[in-house]
Structure 1
Amino acid sequence: MERGSTLFLKLTVILMGIPVLALCIFFVPELAELAAKLLPKFSFINYLVSIIFWASAIPYYFALYQAFKLLRYIDKNEAFSEISVVALRKIKHCAISISALHVLVLPLFYLFAEADDAPGVIFVGCVVPFASIVIAVFAAVLQRLLKEAIDIKSENDLTV
Structure 2
Amino acid sequence: MNVRRGSTTFLKVIIFLAGIAVLALCICLPGIAVKDAKVHPETAYFLIPFLICSYGFCIAVSVALYQAYKLLTYIEKNNALSELSLKSLQIIKKCAFAVIILILIAIVGLRVLASVTDSDDAAGPTSLCLMGILATSIIAATVDALQKPLKKAPI
Scaled by the length of structure 2, the TM-score of the pair is: 0.80
Gaps of 5+ in 2: none
SS of aligned partner of 1:128: helix
1:75 Cα offset (Å):
0.8
Q: Choose 125-134 or 11-20, whichever is displaced more.
A: 125-134
Aligned twin of 1:143 = 147
**Which letter maps to 2:48?**
Y
Are 1:22 and 2:24 matched, yes or no? yes
CA distance in 2, matches of 1:35, 1:106: 19
1:94 Cα offset (Å):
0.7
Aligned twin of 2:70 = 69
Aligned twin of 1:104 = 105
Greater radius of gyration (CA): 1
Q: State the identity %.
A: 35
Report the number of matched residues: 149
CA distance in 2, matches of 1:87, 1:53: 23
Scaled by the length of structure 1, the TM-score of the pair is: 0.77
SS of aligned partner of 1:125: helix
Please show how residues 6-155 of structure 1 align to structure 2 within 5 Å.
6-27=8-29, 29-31=31-33, 34=36, 37=40, 40=43, 43=45, 45-110=46-111, 111-112=113-114, 115-117=119-121, 119-148=123-152, 150-151=153-154
